[in-house]
Amino acid sequence: MSTNTPKNPHFPLMLSPLDLGFTTLKNRVLMGSMHTGLEEEKGGFNKLAAFYAERARGGVGLIVTGGIAPNFRGRIAPHGSQLSFSWQTSKHKLITDAVHKEGGKICLQILHTGRYAYHPFNISASNVKAPINPFKPRQMSERQIKKTIKDFASTCQLSQKAGYDGVEIMGSEGYLINQFLCSRTNKRKDQWGGSYQNRMRFALEIVKASRQKVGKDFIIIFRLSMLDLVEEGSTWDEVVELAKALEDAGVTIINTGIGWHEARIPTIATSVPRAAFSWVTAKMKKEVSIPLITTNRINTPEVAEEILARGDADMVSMARPMLADSDFVNKAAAGNSDHINTCIACNQACLDHVFKQKRASCLVNPRACYETELNFDKASSAKKLAVIGGGMAGMAFSIYAAQRGHEVNLFEAKDHLGGQFNLAKNVPGKEEFIDSLRYFTSELERQNIKVNLNSPQSVEQLKEAGFDDVVLATGVTPRIPAIDGIDNPMVYNYQQVLKGEATMGARVAVLGAGGIGYDISEFLTEAGESHTVNLDLWLKEWGIDTEVTHPGGIEGVKQVKPESARHVYLLQRKAERFGKTLQPTTGWIHRAALKKRTVDMIGGVEYVKIDDNGLHIKEDGELRLLEVDNIVICTGQESEKSLHQGLEDAGVSVHLIGGADYAGELDAKRAIRQAAELAARI
Ligand code: NAP
Ligand code: SF4
């Protein structure tokens, strides 16, 4: 594509080409690297090819694959993916051919995990154990260092043979190269440790050896940790020194890395403000002349365009948003950015799955990574369907079933759609959920689905209307525990609180410490504006030094504790650690939030009674009165499926999905996937 291509009127900067000299990227959108789990699955490369091809078709300028190890010790886990031999290139060709066929470009990410490798053969600059890995690394010998440099270069060359347009050398997030760079993990006294010149030698040798193998017309992206967010991390001067040296060594583009995996500062969770770290890339723009990519919590074309308009970066990286909507770029280009299924940064189906060594997908798009398995092809005969309940499960089912050509009639008893997401969006740090409501409700319109609000249905009505199938997506109701005095007017359930129907006093007891108990505690203690929508306050809360005068951008910086709006007691009957059921990648953030707001957590309690004095509990066998003004019930849910038996008895073909099917572990991820799977086969 020539640089004279007319500018797209909608997102002129994001959609303008990027000329790299020997090749041109069609726009400024990078689909960032993301491990999917398909890399290790039998037959996974065919599925990966379909996954990437769909994103290339969706218009993304450049794709970077999930991390592939240059040798055995660098694998993420014993069966992790590796590219070291010629015979391994054929399966990669499936990917590169599929992407090129769609007019896309793709780079392979070379990732050596170093001390993050989840196996006993892991190695690092020094034998310093990572706090997030039980396996202690062995210090690399000089021979191993040289061999690893060669292995990186060889993988780079094999990538070229496999048809990739380039590679991304993973130098951030606390992986091996990053481990060499920082004194936190590099305690060596030889030419690979000590001075910064020595610590950056490994990174530079890898780049030089790789460039030498592939010649000049091959993209080499270096993912540079610009902000480590750990103690004994790099200083800004060091990061700049390395960036300049990388440019001299022949790197084509520098991508921004933010935070090591072991950092205790959130970097991509939904509570992180949008584009929270583009200022870091902006600082680097003054220092080098090669293109820079910025990343982290960029999830809409509008945000991407703003970043580029400010001149913070030359390209924007989005990984999870491309899982949520493969057609992101095309929709933006057509002026339909409001039709994009926005990534809400929940991590629930992507990173949490990868963490548990399961295949990644997406909560709001269950087709992600299932492109060859979950499809909504036209049904052989169109059915007349009734969907009861307009929460996420009901809306998702309706949309997918309509895509198959079925006539869908959606009935919702309330005067609005959205179910539990209407509540979730009110929780501080979950503001993003509003975008799922926007997407799903507007998609119903685009699919011409008949939506009937204020329309509770009876068995008789449904039978009489003669539907072929009725899908019950009637959700859940809060479980009310049998506690003496539970009907005291000071007691509310979480739904009433999140809907703003309850006035809360200065002291509140929250019963039940599952996901919702945590959400309610955050909601009740939040004083003033949510920090998720105020970047300055958020950076101060987490003690991030935007001048990066402190190593890692945090060392010695005091975190500003947020004020707490009221005193909250969070209670559970179990005597185990609090927050055990929270998600693996974000649970620690919720625990930290409540700690900062000094929420009192009391476990192993028995609820004795509630009266006007407050909540009477038994703790360690002793009676205790919590003098609270209000009590909020977050003790799980029960399925609402009162129509089910009646419909079955009336001989109607009926299906249950979402919370109506199973209330335990109620979650939108399961509800939407279940809806999609039913729609694909009904
Ligand atoms: P939950 O995780 O099942 O927690 C409810 C808690 O209430 C239980 O852990 C239980 O703890 C207590 N409980 C249950 N029955 C009780 C009874 N009869 N009397 C007194 N206490 C009782 O349910 P949830 O908090 O409603 O969350 C549901 C799901 O929503 C989660 O699994 C998650 O998938 C999703 N969610 C997640 C998040 C998040 O991760 N941030 C946020 C919102 C929702 P004890 O028995 O120990 O007291
Ligand atoms: Fe985004 Fe959540 Fe989907 Fe992951 S699961 S891509 S975070 S919406």
DSSP string for 398-421: HHHHHHTT-EEEEE-SSSSS-THH
Question: Which of 338, 301, 309, 576 lies closest to 446 in space, CA to CA?
Answer: 338
Which of 363, 365, 392 to mutate to test ligand 2, by most ligand atoms within 8 A of the CB atom?
Answer: 363
Q: Is any ligand 1 atom within 6 A of the Cβ of residue 665?
A: yes
d(CA 320, CA 334): 21
Mean pLDDT calculated for residue range 342-350: 95
Closest residue CA from atom 41 of ligand 1: 515
The ligand 2 atom at the shortest distance from the C-alpha of residue 345 is 7
Query: Which residues, at least 6 apart from 193, have a Cβ–Cβ distance to it below 8 Å?
Result: 125, 126, 180, 186, 187, 199
What distance in angstroms lies between residue 480's CA and the mean position of ligand 1's atoms?
Answer: 12
Task: Name the phi and psi angles at 335, rounded to 5.
Answer: 80, 20
The ligand 1 atom at the shortest distance from the C-alpha of residue 583 is 40
Query: Is the pLDDT confidence value at 1 over 50?
Result: no
Q: Residue 377: exposed, middle, or buried by beta-carbon count in 10 A (0-12, 13-18, 19+)?
A: exposed
Q: State pLDDT tens for residues 60-90.
A: 999 999 999 999 999 999 999 999 999 999 9
Predicted confidence band of residue 158 (pLDDT cuts 50, 70, 90): very high
Three-state DSSP state, 440: helix
Q: 């963490």: which residue's tokens?
A: 355
What distance in angstroms lies between residue 323's CA and the mean position of ligand 2's atoms?
Answer: 7
Strand extents, DSSP E, 141-277: 166-171, 219-227, 253-258
Write the DSSP symbol of residue 7: P
**pLDDT at site 664:** 74
**pLDDT at site 9:** 86
Task: Name the phi and psi angles at 275, rounded to 5.
Answer: 50, 40
Angstrom CA distances, 428 to 146, 223, 442, 514, 660, stand at 49, 32, 24, 17, 27
Closest residue CA from atom 6 of ligand 2: 320
What distance in angstroms lies between residue 400's CA and the mean position of ligand 1's atoms?
Answer: 30
d(CA 216, CA 88): 24
Q: What's the whole-model pTM score?
A: 0.94
Average pLDDT, the chain: 95
Q: Is any ligand 1 atom within 6 A of the Cβ of residue 398?
A: no
Q: At what angle do helices 201-214 and 236-249 cross, to 10 degrees?
A: 20
What distance in angstroms lies between residue 361's CA and the mean position of ligand 2's atoms?
Answer: 8
- Ligand 2 pocket: which residues have CB below 6 Å? 320, 323-324, 343-350, 362-364
Q: Is any ligand 1 atom within 6 A of the Cβ of residue 478?
A: no
d(CA 202, CA 212): 15
The ligand 1 atom at the shortest distance from the C-alpha of residue 582 is 40
**pLDDT at site 4:** 56
d(CA 375, CA 382): 16
Mean pLDDT calculated for residue range 369-393: 97
Mean pLDDT calculated for residue range 307-316: 98
What distance in angstroms lies between residue 440's CA and the mean position of ligand 2's atoms?
Answer: 15
The ligand 1 atom at the shortest distance from the C-alpha of residue 669 is 34
Mean pLDDT calculated for residue range 154-175: 98
Ligand nearest to the CA of 328: 2
Question: Which of 500, 496, 504, 455 lies closest to 477 in space, CA to CA?
Answer: 496
d(CA 440, CA 417): 9
Ligand nearest to the CA of 514: 1
3-state SS of 240-289 is HHHHHHHHHHCCCEEEEEECCCCCCCCCCCCCCCCCCCHHHHHHHHCCCC
Instruction: Please report the domains of the chain, with CATH numbers, ordered by start residue.
Output: 18-355 (3.20.20.70), 384-477+638-681 (3.40.50.720), 480-527+562-635 (3.50.50.60)
Quick one: how far is CA 675 from the chain centroid? Answer: 21
Quick one: how far is CA 431 from the chain centroid? Answer: 15
Mean pLDDT calculated for residue range 257-268: 96
Closest residue CA from atom 3 of ligand 1: 636
Question: Which of 344, 513, 528 lies closest to 436 in space, CA to CA?
Answer: 344
Helix (H) or strand (E) holding 545, with range, is none
**pLDDT at site 2:** 43
Tokens for 257, please give them.
Answer: 């890395």
Tokens for 533, please give them.
Answer: 């929508």
The ligand 2 atom at the shortest distance from the C-alpha of residue 320 is 6
Helix (H) or strand (E) holding 601, with range, is strand 600-602
**pLDDT at site 663:** 87
Mean pLDDT calculated for residue range 595-610: 95
What distance in angstroms lies between residue 505's CA and the mean position of ligand 1's atoms?
Answer: 23
Report the catalytic residues: 175
Query: Is the pLDDT confidence value at 666 over 60?
Result: no
Q: Percentage of the chain surpassing pLDDT 90?
A: 92
**pLDDT at site 556:** 86
Q: State pLDDT tens for residues 84-140.
A: 999 999 999 999 999 999 999 999 999 999 999 999 999 999 999 999 999 999 999
Ligand nearest to the CA of 518: 1
d(CA 617, CA 638): 24
Q: State pLDDT tens for residues 492-535.
A: 999 999 999 999 999 999 999 999 999 999 999 998 888 999 99
